[in-house]
Amino acid sequence: MTFEPTPRIGDWYKNSIGESFEIVAQDDDDDTLELQYYDGTVEELDRETWESMNPQLVEPPEDWTASMDVTKDDYMSTESWAETEDWLSRLDRID
């Protein structure tokens, strides 16, 4: 008897060739799952394919932003906050 985890949205798995992916959607009407691999690739598969791929439940990767192409430059640093006008002083001017 083999263990086939019940897929749940938000859980991460590894397929038989070592690729990590997250379940991002499930369509109960069509009995399909939508997976997003760590590299950002999205794939839809049916229940039969899910069972044949022998997925193993794994921990989410430490760097979850890889599939979203997010870099540190995309975030506003706290240093730039200090360079702007103090937003609290603007509240003092409100009647």
pLDDT in tens, 27-67: 989 999 999 998 889 999 998 999 888 899 999 888 755 55
Q: What integer pLDDT is reported at residue 67 of this predicted model? A: 54
Structural domain spans, the chain: 12-60+67-92
Q: What integer pLDDT is reported at residue 19 of this predicted model? A: 92
Contact 7, 45 (CB under 8 A): no
Q: What average pLDDT does the segment 73-94 reach?
A: 55
- Centroid of chain to Cα 74: 17
Residue 49's SS3 state is helix
Residue labelled with tokens 């369509």: 27
Residue 42 forms beta bridges with which residues?
36
Q: What average pLDDT does the segment 85-89 reach?
A: 59
90 versus 25: the higher-pLDDT residue is 25
Count of Cβ atoms closer than 10 Å to residue 2 Cβ: 5
